[in-house]
Structure formats: structure tokens, C-alpha cells
Amino acid sequence: MIPNFNRRQALALGAGAVTVAVLGASSGPALAKNDSDEAIAKFTGGKTPAQGKVKLDLPEIAENGNTVPMTVTVESPMTEQSHVTDVLILASENPRSGVATFHFSPASGIAEANTRIRLAATQDVIAVAKMNDGSFFMARKQVKVTIGGCGG
């Protein structure tokens, strides 16, 4: 077990906003909402994205919340007729939701991107893909960020 003070402190400093925990309050998902809903609405122009086509590859539990490996893949032939144009990545409970936006064209060949992202606490990572026909697809996956181990 046992707390990882340093990492948590580092996260708090880096994040610029600290959730004040009090007895009885939640430390799980369902903290104060950030602007992820608004960011999705802005990206889609108010359309509700459909489920499917988008795949988020993330660990269930982060080994280090400061640098979580993420791969996003969108199912698409990536032709002039049918391709992905943009993929928006959001973190539902970071102080600010924006993580990245990837831009694609048929020349990309495949709609896949990978990077490392920072997660301040247990939360959902959200990927919204915009297709060239104006449709939107979305996936989300929960990533747990733990204080420390207690294992075995």
C-alpha cells in the first residue's frame, strides 16, 4: 500500500486547481464537472455523436497519472469519399478537459494516433471523431489513477 505523496503533490501543483477533499466527500469519479460536455457540443456543433468506430486503447489503471499512454483508432477507409477529419480527445475530470485534437486527411492512410496524456484523478477519457460527411462518433474509457499500491 501506501500513499504516494510526491506524485499527488506534483499533480496538485501542476494542475493548478486542487479538489479539496473532506470526510464524506467523493474521491472517485463524480467530482465537480469540467467543461467536457461543452467542448463536445462545440466540436460537433450540437450534434450527439454516435457510438462505435472509435477505439481508445488506455490502461484500466494508470501506472503513472502524469504520463498515461493512449492510442486512438477510428475505423475508416480513409479515402477521399470517406475519411476522418479530426479527433478530439478530452479528459472528463482534469481541471480543463482539453487534451488534444488530431487532424487527418486521406493521405494519413489510417486514422490512428498515439501519445501520452496527463490525468489528475480517476476519470473518463473521451474521443470524438469527425467524419468528412459531418457525422460524429465517440468512445470513452475510464482510467483509474490510484494513490498507491498495496499489493499481493
Partner 1 sequence: MISRRELLQVGAATAALAPGGWSRAFAQQRMTQADLLRFEAVGNVTLVHLTDIHAQLMPVLFREPSINLGVGDARGHVPHVTGRDFLDLYKIPAGSAAAYALTSEDFTALARSYGRLGGLDRIATVLKAIRAERGDRTVFLDGGDTWQNSYTSMLTKGQDMVDCMALLKPDAMVGHWEFTLGAERVKAIAEKLGFPFLAQNIRDTEWNEAAFEPMTMLERGGVKIAVIGQAFPYTPIANPRWMMPNWSFGIREEDLQGNVEKARQQGAGLVVLLSHNGFDVDRKLAARVKGIDVILTGHTHDALPDVVRIGRTLLVASGSHGKFVSRLDLDVRGGEVKDFRFKLIPIFSDVIAPDAEMAGKIAAIRAPHEKMLGEAIGRTETLLYRRGNFNGTLDDVICDALLTERDAEIALSPGFRWGNSLLPGQDITREDIYNATALSYPAAYRTTMTGARLKEVLEDVADNLFNPDPYYQQGGDMVRVGGVSFTIDVSQNAGHRISDLKSLRTGKPLDAAKDYVVTGWASVNEGTEGPAIWDVVMRHIEKRRVVAPGEAGRVRVLGT
- Give the integer Cα–Cα distance in Å for 35 and 50: 20
Minimum CB separation of residue 71 from partner 1 in Å reads 10
Nearest to 142 by CA among 88, 79, 68, 81: 68
If you ran DSSP here, which 8-state letter would residue 92 be given?
T
- Give the shortest CB-4-to-partner 1 separation in angstroms: 6
Q: Interface mask (CB under 8 A) for partner 1, residues 11-50, using x and -?
A: ----------xxxxxxxxxx--------------------
Could you tell me which stretch among 39-47, 82-90, 91-99, 138-146 binds partner 1 (CB under 8 A)? 138-146
3-state secondary structure 25-77: CCCCCCCCCCCHHHHHHHHHCCCCCEECCEEEECCCECCCCCCEEEEEEECCC
Local structure of residue 78 (DSSP, 8 states): -
Q: Which of 13, 32, 107, 150 binds partner 1 (CB under 8 A)?
A: 150
Is 10 an interacting residue with respect to partner 1 (CB under 8 A)?
no
Stretch 66-95 residues interacting with partner 1 (CB under 8 A): 69
**Binding residues for partner 1 (CB under 8 A):** 1-6, 21-30, 57, 59-64, 69, 122, 142, 144, 146-152
